[in-house]
Structure 1
Amino acid sequence: MSLLHKVFDTLLTAVSKVVDFALRRRSFPLRIFRAGLILIGATAAGSWVSSLFYADDVRALSLHIEISGGTPELITWLAFMIGLVLTAVGGVWEAIRFAEEERKEEERRARRRVVVIEQRGLAKSSGSPLKDALPKDVVGVPQSILLDHTPYVENNSVTDPERVVGEVATVRHDLERSVSDVAREDVTVVYGGVSPVPLTFLAGFLLDDDGAVRIVDWDRGEARWRSLDGADDGERFIVDGFDRVPRGAAEVAVAVEVSYAVDADAVGRSLGAVPVVRLSLPTIDKDNHWSDAKQRALAAQFLKVVSDLGNRGVRTIHLFLVAQNSVVFRLGQRYDQRNLPEVLVHQYEKTANPPHPWAVKMPTHGINRPVVVRRAPLAVQHPTDHSA
Structure 2
Amino acid sequence: VIEYIFRKKSYASILLRCGVSLIVGGFQGLIFTLKFLLDDVVPIINEIEIDYGETYGCSFLVGLLLIFISMYWEYSNNKIERNKPKFALYQKYLTNSLERDFKETINKKAGSSVTVTEIDISQFVENSILIEPEKSLKKINNKISVFIENVNGANNSVELYYGGLMAVPFAFYTGMELDDRYPITVLDYDRNDEKWKEIKVMVNPEFSPNISIENNGNNSGNSIISIGVSYPINEDEIQSNFPNYPISKIAIAPININNHWDLTFQKELQSKFFELAQKLGASGTKIIHLILAAQNSVSFNLGRRYDNRNLPEIIVYQYEKGNEIKYPWGIKMKTSGLQEAEIITIPAH
TM-score interval, normalised by the smaller of the two chains:
0.7 to 0.9
Q: Give the structure 2 partner of residue 237 of structure 1.
A: 211
User: In the TM superposition, what is the alpha-carbon distance from 1:261 to its structure 2 partner?
Assistant: 1.3
What is the aligned-residue RMSD (CA, Å)? 3.8
Contact 2:333 2:341 (C-alpha < 8 Å) held by counterparts: yes
User: In the TM superposition, what is the alpha-carbon distance from 1:169 to its structure 2 partner?
Assistant: 2.2
User: In the TM superposition, what is the alpha-carbon distance from 1:105 to its structure 2 partner?
Assistant: 3.9
- The aligned amino acid for 2:342 is V
Q: Give the structure 1 partner of residue 81 of structure 2.
A: 109
1:323 pairs with one of 294, 305, 327: 294
C-alpha distance 25-337 of structure 1, shift in aligned 2 (>3 A): same
1:368 pairs with one of 332, 339, 348: 339
Q: Give the structure 1 partner of residue 306 of structure 2.
A: 335
CA distance in 2, matches of 1:366, 1:360: 16
- The aligned amino acid for 2:264 is A
Q: 1:158-173, aligned counterparts within 5 Å?
A: 158-173=130-145
What CA deviation, in whole Å up to 9, does each residue of 1:197-218 have, x standing for no partner? 1011101111112351111110
C-alpha distance 129-166 of structure 1, shift in aligned 2 (>3 A): farther
2:328 pairs with one of 342, 354, 357: 357
User: In the TM superposition, what is the alpha-carbon distance from 1:269 to its structure 2 partner?
Assistant: 2.1
Contact 1:116 1:142 (C-alpha < 8 Å) held by counterparts: yes
Q: Give the structure 2 partner of residue 176 of structure 1.
A: 148
CA distance in 2, matches of 1:102, 1:317: 48
Q: Give the structure 1 partner of residue 262 of structure 2.
A: 291
Contact 1:112 1:140 (C-alpha < 8 Å) held by counterparts: no
C-alpha distance 312-173 of structure 1, shift in aligned 2 (>3 A): same
Q: Give the structure 2 partner of residue 268 of structure 1.
A: 239
CA distance in 1, matches of 2:73, 2:277: 49
Contact 1:119 1:192 (C-alpha < 8 Å) held by counterparts: yes
CA distance in 1, matches of 2:105, 2:260: 20
User: In the TM superposition, what is the alpha-carbon distance from 1:290 to its structure 2 partner?
Assistant: 1.2
Contact 1:259 1:287 (C-alpha < 8 Å) held by counterparts: yes
CA distance in 1, matches of 2:233, 2:194: 26
What CA deviation, in whole Å up to 9, does each residue of 1:141-162 have, x standing for no partner? 4110111111111111112101
- The aligned amino acid for 2:314 is V
Contact 2:213 2:272 (C-alpha < 8 Å) held by counterparts: no
Contact 1:169 1:369 (C-alpha < 8 Å) held by counterparts: no
- Equivalent residue of 1:133, what SS? helix
What CA deviation, in whole Å up to 9, does each residue of 1:78-116 have, x standing for no partner? xx9xx9xxx8xx999x97x78975774454134212211
Q: Give the structure 1 partner of residue 120 of structure 2.
A: 148
C-alpha distance 134-227 of structure 1, shift in aligned 2 (>3 A): same
C-alpha distance 179-111 of structure 1, shift in aligned 2 (>3 A): farther
Tell me how many residue pairs correspond in the alignment. Answer: 313
Contact 1:123 1:156 (C-alpha < 8 Å) held by counterparts: no
CA distance in 2, matches of 1:98, 1:357: 58
The structure that has the greater radius of gyration is: 1
User: In the TM superposition, what is the alpha-carbon distance from 1:311 to its structure 2 partner?
Assistant: 0.7
What CA deviation, in whole Å up to 9, does each residue of 1:36-79 have, x standing for no partner? xxxxxx9xx9xx99xx9xxxxxxxxxxxxxxxxxxxxxxxxxxx
Contact 1:109 1:140 (C-alpha < 8 Å) held by counterparts: no
Unmatched runs of 5 consecutive residues or more in structure 2: 4-13, 24-29, 36-53
- Equivalent residue of 1:253, what SS? strand
CA distance in 1, matches of 2:334, 2:133: 16
C-alpha distance 106-369 of structure 1, shift in aligned 2 (>3 A): same
Unmatched runs of 5 consecutive residues or more in structure 1: 1-9, 14-19, 35-41, 53-79, 379-388
CA distance in 2, matches of 1:292, 1:22: 29
User: In the TM superposition, what is the alpha-carbon distance from 1:228 to its structure 2 partner?
Assistant: 2.1
C-alpha distance 23-122 of structure 1, shift in aligned 2 (>3 A): closer
